[in-house]
Amino acid sequence: MAFLDGMTAIAGVGASRFERRPEASVLEFAGDALNAALADAGLDKEQIDGLIVQVGSPRGADYDTIALTFGLSPSYCGQTWAHGRFAASVIIQAAMAVSAGLATRVACLMAMKNSDIGRMGEADNPFYHEQFRENGGPHGEEGHIGMSSPIAGAAMGFDLYCRRYGVDRELLAEIPLTFRRHALLTDDAIMRTPMTAEDYRSSRPIVDPLRLFDCSPVGDGAVCVIVAAAGADAREVRITGAQGMRAGRNEFIFAPSGLGMAQQSHKRLTREDACRQRVYEMAAARPDDIDVLGLYDSFSPLPLYALEDFGFCRAGEALHWIQGGRIGLGGDLPTNTAGGQLSQAQLNGWGQIRELVTQLRGEAEQRQVPDAARAMWASVGGDALILERSA
Amino acid sequence: MSESLAPAVNDLSRPFWNAAAEGRLALPYCVATGCPFWPPAPTSPFRTAGAVEWRDAEAVGIVSSIVVYRRAFQSALAEHLPYGIALVQVARGVRLLAHLEDPEAAPKPGTRVNLCFRRLAWSETPVLAIAPQE
């Protein structure tokens, strides 16, 4: 139905190491990811004619600096804002540029370095003033009353969710514990110490009801994805479904649609509506058709909302639905199989997209989901991709 | 970088802060529908280019949810830990965030609370807070 339908593909993917190395340059991480993706795709840098950057300065490098530094000569460039979100949107923009004939091979690059700055909300973080942003910070912050740092919005969203559905907050443990188990099988994951339920329960409270182990470890790293026209390469991964980010008075970035802060309606998506969204329609797929899933998890409650808003279960059911190994390797719906942002690295979701490509190529080794043919990336904000292995 | 915790006040939000300085809660209303809304907007979010006027609203509400800070993100707040933030349903459809000085005595979600404007230890401007419960 749509011009993106399988006409474009992820031709290569690459990543830097993930670490906290204050003395490094973010361009070193960017270069490692870019060169790894080029090698993976079998391309020379001269074959890149599109460049879309997520994050950019001050945590990353802007598109022009990237092109200048690495000797790229793209004739189609784009850049999204300096936060997370928009991973799917960047890839969608690249696919649209290829489909529309504005570029043939687009490098999508997320590179950032956080180890030399304070946490978000602290005075030595370049985003300090965002908590005083007109009409509220990007995560619901209101610094003047002490509502500071993204975690507070995530905590408020989760408190609201638990009260609305009368669910036990401790059920949330399944998310960080599952993703940590996956990270133990992932060579480049940052968090490779086994986590027990007791470790989780006793981790330091940050903003109740969330704890330290509900937060992704902020660090340094980069991922690069190269988007091109679908061809005959057996390793390429086709983009068959796509959907952009939602916004509006019924949306809050850290809550399901309709249940966030401010004047939201409390009207949730029905499962039927969720299953009729554009990403599914475009790929002629339903949630049951997804073999492996990647979900945005900068904080551990966020995957719950994406599971509900994308129709894997009904509104209010996710905390129970995920129990019993369902989202773990070997379960019905293996999710964030490399550890996600919570345990692999906080890369704004790009780590999950790289992992989905690896899974669809059958190259995930000890993490391989058997016969993975169709994968999905979904974020609580509504942007999503369906990816399929080459036939 | 300076660590000011002052709210951003400008022409759009000034009616709220002027009322706050006098201890009143003022909200923008959509003239066409009569509905209050938040955050402030120069035209109504309910009507294309719809007119807006500020009116006083009753400074009471129902607590929707609460978070409690166990870690401070600004040095000025460290000595005030733990403190809470409540999401409070005030006039029709409007939910506001309010500071909660003593989370140990937090009102249970679902209870009706009085709101007030108070100069907190770090603020020169009175900001929205949950009034002590009687």
pLDDT of amino acid B2? 64
- Let me know if residue B109 belongs to a domain: yes
Q: How far is CA A293 from the centre of its chain?
A: 11
Residue % of chain A over a pLDDT of 90: 92
**Pairwise CA distance, residues A39 & A56, whole Å:** 23
Buried/exposed B18-37: b ≥16 CB within 10 Å, e otherwise: ebbeeeebbbbbbeeeebbb
Q: How far is CA A385 from CA A184, A295, B42, in A?
A: 26, 11, 36
Same domain, B125 and B74: yes
Amino acid in position A3? F
Would the CB atoms of A140 and B97 count as touching at under 8 Å?
yes
Residues A112-168 pLDDT 10s: 999 999 888 898 898 999 999 999 999 999 999 999 999 999 999 999 999 999 999
Domain limits for position B131? 59-134
Q: What are phi and psi of B105, to 5 degrees?
A: -105, 30
Instruction: Supply the CATH number for residue B70's domain.
Output: 2.40.50
ipTM for the complex shown: 0.95
**Pairwise CA distance, residues A120 & A273, whole Å:** 35
Tokens describing residue A129: 């003033």
Contacts of A205 in chain B (CB under 8 A): 70-71
DSSP, collapsed to helix, strand or coil, labels residue B90 as coil
Angstroms from A319 CA to nearest CA on chain B: 19
Angstroms from A167 CA to nearest CA on chain B: 14
* pLDDT of residue A98 exceeding 60: yes
Residue (of A182, A376, A218, A210) closest to A302 by Cα position: A210
Task: Indicate the Cα dihedral angle B34, B40, B42, B45, nearest 10°.
Answer: -50
Q: What is the DSSP track for A125-143? A: STTGGGGG-TTS-TTS-BG
Would the CB atoms of B125 and A144 count as touching at under 8 Å?
yes
Contacts of B109 in chain A (CB under 8 A): 159, 163
**Pairwise CA distance, residues A297 & A102, whole Å:** 33
Residues B67-124 pLDDT 10s: 999 999 998 899 999 999 999 999 888 999 999 999 998 888 899 999 999 999 888 8
Amino acid in position A244? G
Residue % of chain B over a pLDDT of 90: 81
A193 to chain B, any CB pair closer than 8 A? The answer is: no
Nearest to A148 among B6, B64, B73 (CB): B73
Would the CB atoms of A134 and B12 count as touching at under 8 Å?
yes
Same domain, B39 and B63: no
A166 to chain B, any CB pair closer than 8 A? The answer is: no
**Pairwise CA distance, residues A8 & A229, whole Å:** 4
**For all residues of chain B together, what is the average pLDDT?**
94
What residues pair up with B96 in beta bridges, in sequence order? B88
Nearest CA in chain B to A125: B1
* pLDDT of residue A1 exceeding 50: no
**Pairwise CA distance, residues B15 & B1, whole Å:** 29
Contacts of A124 in chain B (CB under 8 A): 1
- Let me know if residue B4 belongs to a domain: no
Helix (H) / strand (E) element for A37: namely: helix A26-41
Nearest to A159 among B67, B83, B127 (CB): B67
Amino acid in position A378? A
Same domain, B130 and B66: yes
B89 to chain A, any CB pair closer than 8 A? The answer is: no
CA angle A137–B6–B70, rounded 5-degree value:
65
Nearest to A163 among B37, B40, B109 (CB): B109
B48 to chain A, any CB pair closer than 8 A? The answer is: no
* Close Cβ partners of B1 (under 8 Å, ≥ 6 residues apart): A123, A124, A128
A250 to chain B, any CB pair closer than 8 A? The answer is: no
B43 to chain A, any CB pair closer than 8 A? The answer is: no
Would the CB atoms of A263 and B93 count as touching at under 8 Å?
yes
Residues A68-92 pLDDT 10s: 999 999 999 999 988 889 999 999 9
Contacts of A149 in chain B (CB under 8 A): 73
- Let me know if residue B16 belongs to a domain: yes
* pLDDT of residue A57 exceeding 70: yes
Structural domains of chain B, count:
2
Task: Indicate the Cα dihedral angle A67, A68, A71, A76, nearest 10°.
Answer: 30
Domain boundaries, chain A: 1-115+220-233, 121-140+149-210+234-391
Q: What are phi and psi of A103, to 5 degrees?
A: -160, 165
Same domain, B64 and B51: no
Same domain, B74 and B97: yes
Would the CB atoms of B95 and A261 count as touching at under 8 Å?
yes
Would the CB atoms of A142 and B74 count as touching at under 8 Å?
no
- Scan for tokens 């990647």, then name that residue: A294
Q: How far is CA A186 from CA A16, A179, A291, A299, in A?
A: 14, 11, 19, 20
Residues A214-231 pLDDT 10s: 999 999 999 999 999 999
B13 to chain A, any CB pair closer than 8 A? The answer is: yes
Same domain, B120 and B69: yes
Nearest to A145 among B71, B75, B97 (CB): B97
CB contact at 8 A, A337 and A292 = yes
Same domain, B115 and B53: no
Same domain, B64 and B53: no
Question: Does A5 or A320 have the greater pLDDT score?
Answer: A320
- Let me know if residue B119 belongs to a domain: yes
Angstroms from B21 CA to nearest CA on chain A: 15
**Pairwise CA distance, residues A322 & A301, whole Å:** 12
Residue (of A287, A317, A299, A184) closest to A253 by Cα position: A299
A195 to chain B, any CB pair closer than 8 A? The answer is: no
Residue (of A215, A223, A242, A199) closest to A98 by Cα position: A242
CB contact at 8 A, A205 and A211 = yes
CB atoms inside a 10 Å sphere around CB A275: 17
CB contact at 8 A, A265 and A248 = no
- Let me know if residue B3 belongs to a domain: no
Nearest to B38 among A149, A204, A263 (CB): A263
Same domain, B103 and B47: no
Angstroms from A160 CA to nearest CA on chain B: 5
* pLDDT of residue A263 exceeding 80: no
Same domain, B26 and B64: no
DSSP, collapsed to helix, strand or coil, labels residue B97 as strand
* pLDDT of residue A66 exceeding 80: yes
pLDDT of amino acid B95? 95
- Let me know if residue B77 belongs to a domain: yes
Same domain, B43 and B63: no
CB contact at 8 A, B61 and B32 = no
In A, residues 196-235, which contact B (CB 8 Å cutoff)?
Answer: 204-209
Tokens describing residue B35: 């509905």
Q: Which CATH class is domain A1-115+220-233?
A: alpha beta
What residues pair up with A229 in beta bridges, in sequence order? A8
CB contact at 8 A, B40 and A135 = yes
Would the CB atoms of A208 and B120 count as touching at under 8 Å?
no
The CATH number that domain A121-140+149-210+234-391 falls under is: 3.40.47.10
**Pairwise CA distance, residues B42 & A134, whole Å:** 13
CB contact at 8 A, A130 and A137 = yes
CB contact at 8 A, A382 and A85 = no
Same domain, B114 and B83: yes
Would the CB atoms of A144 and B123 count as touching at under 8 Å?
yes
